Amino acid sequence: MPYICLQNVHLGILVMEYNRDKGESRLDYILWLFESNKHYIRNLLLLYTCFYPIFALLDYYTYPNTEASVISFQMFVGVPFLITAYILSYVKKLRPYIRIINATALLAMNLNVVYIYANIDANSVALDTYYSGLMITLATLGLSMSCIGIVVIYAIISAGSFILVSCLVHQLHIHDSHLFIRSTKYILEAAGMFVVISIVIERFSFKLYKAQKGISLEKDSLVNQNDVLENLNDTKDRFFSIISHDLRSPFTALIGYFEILLRNKDKEFKVKKDDIQKIYLHTRRTYNLLNNLLNWSKAQLDQYTFEPKQYNLNDIFIENELLYKEIANQKEIVISHHFPDNASVYCDKEMVMTIIRNLIFNAIKFTKAGGNIYLKGIVVDENKMELAVIDDGIGISDEDIKMILNPSQHFTKEGTYNEKGAGIGLVICNDLLKKHHSKLQIESRKNIGSKFSFIIPMHEENENI
């Protein structure tokens, strides 16, 4: 018995260590064990529920000295426990306790055998059959998938009760000491053997549980890897599509302008400012596209290093405004900014500049000549700032907004001057905003204008929004 207790403690330590290291709970194991063996458990209970009354009737008619009250006790106390355990096995909320319920029903069956044994004549020929009955019920307890602790306690109660009845009720140690010693030895050996069987079953089941969990984790890892590979493949396809189509157009225009200039055979010649502006516009757009491609690729490969610091909002807006001033001037669009004095935000400056730059370019693209674009910083609460790019352009339909906000959709549309886009600017905005625990918000009305906004923290101490 000390060996059994030590094994039980050792297994308990292994279980706790595994749970602590892997973040698993004992409840997960119990539920897994029930789901894996629920048919066996239910069939076991159902089997005893069906045959227990038959055995009781056979006892009654085979041994005339058996009292009817004993049979009634067996029928109306032992059987209800088995039926109750069977029914409760279908109650989902009670599944964490199913092993206790199951073992308790089997203990009630054991104690029924002990009770009947206590009420028969010590000289009855039926005496030996109850030793066999106890052995069978102990075996059932050992094979019941109950936890080791419960099996040990219930086996001690069952075997101990039987031995006490032999001594106190039948006084077998006085009338037939040889039978008492032999039966006590068999009962203790049987109880110990079935406890050991329970330990073996528990260990084997727990090893299976760990193996199943390991396989499940490997499967999840493979699924995740497959998703990553599919995303990378989609990224590659879109990347090459953009390179092959969207980069060709601006370079073709640039080559065309330079060919016109090179046709002039004079060593020195004047170039119209309008031509220089067009060359600059195409160069700037090409640069912006290449920059977006680089940022998008880094975002897809999760190579962005998120380094938030405190920055003045004016610096972020002004740098982007100057960058797109020439492009805005081409369409005679006025860009203005409005935000509180000395306003600052806690963010990764390069990421937020990339977001605002894309939003400004998008606003210019869909705003007609002579329009206006407003860059605004609005304090939402003590640690939230809303940054918004607002235009009075052509607006966006609700269907297009849904496509823009859907990360799986590739959406692009020509601007008011037939400007083409690669459809990755707003995708980059969403990816970078996730780093700031934020997301892009779009409000728009057709032919009235659009508002693209997002929220970022103003201070470091509460950056999660």
Domain segments of the chain as ranges: 2-221, 304-462
Torsion, Cα 311 315 320 323, to 10 degrees, reads -140
Residue 455: what pLDDT? 93
Give 311's Cβ-side CA count (13 Å radius): 20
Q: How many CA atoms lie within 13 A of 180 on its CB side?
A: 16
Closest CA to 358 of 428, 282, 445: 428
pLDDT of residue 10: 42
Tell me the CATH number of domain 304-462, given options 3.30.70.3400, 3.40.1390.10, 3.30.565.10, 3.40.640.10.
Answer: 3.30.565.10
Q: Which distant-in-sequence residues (6+ apart) come within 8 Å of 211 by Cβ?
A: none
Look at the block and give the residue holding tokens 């299976």: 208
Cα 399 to Cα 362: distance, rounded to the nearest angstrom: 18
Q: What is the pLDDT along the chain (465 residues), one digit of tens a residue?
A: 333 343 443 444 444 444 444 444 678 888 888 888 888 888 888 887 777 777 666 665 655 555 555 566 666 667 888 888 888 888 888 888 888 888 888 888 778 777 777 777 666 555 566 667 777 777 777 777 777 888 888 888 888 888 888 888 878 778 778 878 888 888 888 888 888 888 888 888 888 888 888 888 888 888 888 887 887 777 666 666 556 555 665 666 677 767 777 777 666 666 776 777 667 766 766 776 677 677 666 766 666 678 889 998 888 877 766 667 777 887 888 888 888 888 889 998 888 888 888 888 888 888 988 899 998 999 988 889 999 999 998 888 888 888 777 766 666 676 776 666 556 778 778 888 888 889 899 999 888 999 999 999 998 865 444
Q: Which residues of 86-109 are buried (b: 16+ CB within 10 A; e: fewer)?
A: bebbeeeeebeebbebbbbbbbbb
pLDDT at 247: 61
**What pLDDT does 3 receive?**
36
pLDDT (0 to 100) of residue 418: 64
Retrieve residue 396's tokens: 């966006």
Nearest of 454, 450, 443 to residue 364 by alpha carbon: 450
Q: In whole angstroms, what is the distance from residue 380 CA to residue 266 CA?
A: 61
Instruction: Tell me which H or E stretch contains 396.
Output: none
Collapsing DSSP to helix, strand or coil, 345 comes out as strand
- The answer to whether 310 and 460 have CB atoms below 8 angstroms apart is yes
Question: What is the chain's length?
Answer: 465
What is the per-residue pLDDT for 422? Answer: 54
In terms of pTM, does the model score above 0.75? Answer: no
pLDDT (0 to 100) of residue 341: 82
Neighbours of 314 (CB within 10 A): 15
3-state secondary structure of 340: coil
**What number of CA atoms fall less than 13 Å from residue 148's CA on the CB side?**
26
Q: What are the structure tokens assigned to 426, written together?
A: 């707003």
